Amino acid sequence: LNTFFNLMATEPARAFYGLKHIEMANEHLAIETLLLSDSLFRSNDIKQRKKYVNLVESIKEQGANVLIFSSMHPSGEQLSLLSGIAAILKFPLHELEDEDMSDSDDADENNESNKK
């Protein structure tokens, strides 16, 4: 998880979180390591659970690492604050950065502007 946060600070085009971004990165075969909260597998919504199981299987088939964090551990709690799913990418995907900006509200756009 520390590696993920370091990449967020130094190479943000290689560190993404949220289901939509992870699915897009998976389509590009870009995932090196998937970070997942175990709470996503305990959802009451069966379709939601299946979606995460299928995503994990797809990512494992590509040879990526999958790390599952306990939601009872501080690192799992941290991950849950980031939607419960994150990925470290093999290579930068700047398209996902652009997608992130188009989905964000004005406050997030201002934060992105201040970072640059």
Read off the pLDDT of residues 25-34 as tens digits, 9 standing for 90 and up: 999 999 999 9
Residue 37: which of 67, 64, 61 has the closest Cα? 67
Measure the CA–CA gap between 65 and 31, rounded to whole angstroms: 8
Q: Where are the beta strands (DSSP E) in the chain?
A: 15-17, 31-37, 65-69, 85-89
CATH number for 84: 3.30.1330.30
Number of domains comprising the chain = 1
* pTM: predicted TM-score of the whole model, two decimal places: 0.80
Q: How far apart are the first and last CA of the chain?
A: 24
Dig out the tokens for 1 from the structure. 């998880």
- Any bridge partners for residue 68, and if so which? 36
Domain that holds residue 21: 2-115
pLDDT tens readout for residues 25-82: 999 999 999 999 999 999 899 999 999 999 999 999 999 999 999 999 999 999 999 9
